[in-house]
Amino acid sequence: MKRNILLALLVLPATYRAQAQAAAPLTAHLDKVSLTVTLGPDGRPAYAVSYGPKTVLKPSRLGMSFADGKGFDGPLVLAGSETKDVDETWQPVWGEVKDIRNHYQQLTVHLRQPAADGRKLDVVFRVFADGVGFRYEFPRQSGLQYFTVQDEFTEFNLPANHKAFWIPGDYDSNEYAYTTSRVSEVNTTPIKAIQLKAPANRIQTPLMLKSDDGLYVNIHEAALVNYPAMFLNVDTKTFGLSSQLVPDATGTGAKAYLQAPEHTPWRTIVVSDKAPEVLASKLILNLNEPSKIADPSWIKPQKFVGVWWEMQVSRGSWNYADTFNIKLAGTDWSKLKPNGRHMANTAHVKEYIDFAAAHHITGVLVEGWNVGWEDWANNWKEEVFDFVTPYPDFDVDELQRYAASKGVNIIMHHETSSSVTNYERRQDAAYRFMKQHGYTSVKTGYVGRIIPRGEHHDGQWMANHYVRTAQKTADNQIMVDMHEAVRPTGLHRTYPNWLACESARGNEFNAFSEGNMPEHETILPFTRMMGGPMDYTPGIFKIQGFADAKLKRQVHTTLAKQLALYVTMYSPLQMAADLPENYQPHLDAFKFIEDVPVDWDDTRILAAEPGDYLTTVRKAKGRDEWYLGSITDENARQQPLKLDFLTPGQRYEATIYADGKGASWDKNPTAYRITRQVVTSKSALTLQLAAGGGAAVSFKPVK
């Protein structure tokens, strides 16, 4: 379908005729979702989105300014438009479902500055059944080659004072608890900054919204490449949201250095009147480019244990010595006095390898294996780690030999302390070291302030770093898991070796802070995880009593809920985060972690409400087994289930890992009960979820 209704305009003299243009809206739609694009009386383009009869976004401005002053922030003229329909299906390397349908109507709007030789801008919209994505495209043109984006003026104007699930717009951290409030009540001021204090009205995406008339709206972006992340400034009076890009280090307010032809990331609006459909949306993945990895056979979704949680709960240390004020160059690490609490030692790592091997866990992460942890953080220091030198008590070769003999892979750890220049100049050597020693996966970390100094975690330079790292690890057939990176935007479609990110407030916060309230895991799938898998590190069985009692620290969960998270939080990389000794008393419950897959042929969201509850069931990759997770917030609740997702006629043994009698996250978190029963697709179950609790169920065919 070609849409040429505006060609008439083009025969008019190429002067600015805002009125004529304003009279000719451009539209696209699919199912209930409709898009309208207009040029206003002031020549500024705007778009609006509706869902059936309901307004999703009122007319919302499009545009951007450039550092050279000749941007697309003034009046523009319409130079044409066209639409096309696409309906295709593709298979991800790994994921929640086997096949993904990419069905949309595309509207391309060609704009230019009023002068005959004005600069040209395209805005490309894709309207899906579950929302809209659009991006700015800068075609190859003589009048626009190199340019610097100063500001983007994209708006998302909400029609009413929706409920919002938001975190402050810190350019350097997304590790915040979510606040649930009306849009009019957004105010980051009382919230303690993790890295960089945000203005009162600046928040992050993915932003989850719910209207009083039951519309669920999620605003985010897809394919963040060569551009800063988009934050949102909230107008608490009008309920308008506007794009705020992360500035660079120059102090000039410059946001992105681009060269045409180029385009921005996609701005995404996912919408439905059913919360589960938001979670099921593949809109963001569909807006990303296909995989760049021709042969992905070396990419393996995986579960892992690791030398990690014991440092989070201060039972041990990353550092080998307590000699602080160390310089990377010139220190003889063998001469340091060991502090006796260094967990990444050969003997201790072997215990993890033994546990992993005994329980069909394929990975063992080891943090603190390499020199530099004596004073790695908070000093804005460039030379902290070299990524290739083990501490004296960590025997790389012996551990590789031992792990290989047990069928286990050790996962490399590269904490950069955000000294990214240092990491970049050492990446080649670091990955060479990994290849030489048989490592196939790496967890990276970006704690602290970025070097190049003045840059931000979520700015263009760092966005490019993450993508370069995904590409460079792919070039070396290495899988990567990034912590403290910018929030994901579906780039794992393009780089399927990029298994997961943390990039949100993980389970670890329960170890060392006031923690994550029980509702947290019911919100994450609607927010952070809209962009991609999270390395949340579930599976804590010792829920209380791991820290000094006076600190009142605990994981805000029941044990059964920890199991459920392996299903409700999708990731191809799932940690069993607790210590082996804490799993030993509960090996019956650990059986679910042992069994649960990390790759799936199908996924059904059975029940969901952000901030309240979530029930998800998934079908194992390549076999007729189903795994279900159900979680609730601080409220106990019943979750009735119809098992009609099961294969008709097949009998399954359902193993139900439920909260035990009297269980609750605060009073009795480790009470659980495991029961078994035979079910079919015609069966029904009712799960009893304790306060802050959950349930996990495996369904295996009865032969």
Binding site for its own copies (CB under 8 A): 140, 145-146, 148, 248-251, 254, 257, 259-260, 324-325, 327, 375, 379-382, 421, 424-425, 427-429, 452-455, 461, 464, 468
Helices 587-595 and 559-568 meet at what angle, rounded to 10? 0
458 CB-near residues (< 8 Å, 6+ apart)? 171, 172, 228, 229, 231, 246, 486, 487
> For residues 201 and 427, which CB has a smaller minimum distance to its own copies in the complex?
427
Tokens of 147: 């340019």
Tokens of 212: 């009083």
Minimum distance of its own copies from residue 454's CB (angstroms): 4
Which helix or strand (DSSP H or E) is residue 510 part of?
A: helix 509-512
State the DSSP string of 558-616.
Answer: -HHHHHHHHHHS--SEEE--S-HHHHGGGHHHHHHHHH--SSEEEEEEEEEETTTEEEE
Polymer length in residues for the chain: 703
> For residues 67 and 287, which CB has a smaller minimum distance to its own copies in the complex?
67
> For residues 315 and 327, which CB has a smaller minimum distance to its own copies in the complex?
327
Alpha-carbon span 250 to 67, nearest angstrom: 12
Phi first, then psi: give them for residue 578, nearest 5 degrees. -80, 175
> For residues 225 and 565, which CB has a smaller minimum distance to its own copies in the complex?
225
* Active-site residue, selected from the candidate residues 137, 508, 519, 625: 508
Looking up tokens 């941007």, which residue turns up?
Answer: 71
Tokens of 560: 């059964």
Closest Cα to residue 385, out of 409, 418, 433? 418
Phi first, then psi: give them for residue 630, nearest 5 degrees. -140, 130
667 CB-near residues (< 8 Å, 6+ apart)? none
CB atoms within 10 A of CB 80: 16
Minimum distance of its own copies from residue 88's CB (angstroms): 24
Alpha-carbon span 365 to 376, nearest angstrom: 19
CA angle, 285 as apex, 283 and 287 as ends, to 5°? 70
Minimum distance of its own copies from residue 468's CB (angstroms): 8
ω before 452 within 30° of 0 (cis)? yes
Q: Which residues pair with 256 in a beta bridge?
A: 149
Minimum distance of its own copies from residue 432's CB (angstroms): 9
408 CB-near residues (< 8 Å, 6+ apart)? 353, 356, 357, 361, 362, 363, 364
Tokens of 195: 């890295």
> For residues 254 and 658, which CB has a smaller minimum distance to its own copies in the complex?
254
Contact 64, 72 (CB under 8 A): yes
Phi first, then psi: give them for residue 357, nearest 5 degrees. -60, -35
Contact 182, 216 (CB under 8 A): no
Q: Which residues pair with 637 in a beta bridge?
A: 689
Minimum distance of its own copies from residue 93's CB (angstroms): 23
Minimum distance of its own copies from residue 288's CB (angstroms): 18
> For residues 226 and 286, which CB has a smaller minimum distance to its own copies in the complex?
226
> For residues 322 and 375, which CB has a smaller minimum distance to its own copies in the complex?
375
Name the DSSP letter for residue 525: G
Active site residue 185: no
> For residues 250 and 584, which CB has a smaller minimum distance to its own copies in the complex?
250
- Catalytically active residues are 508
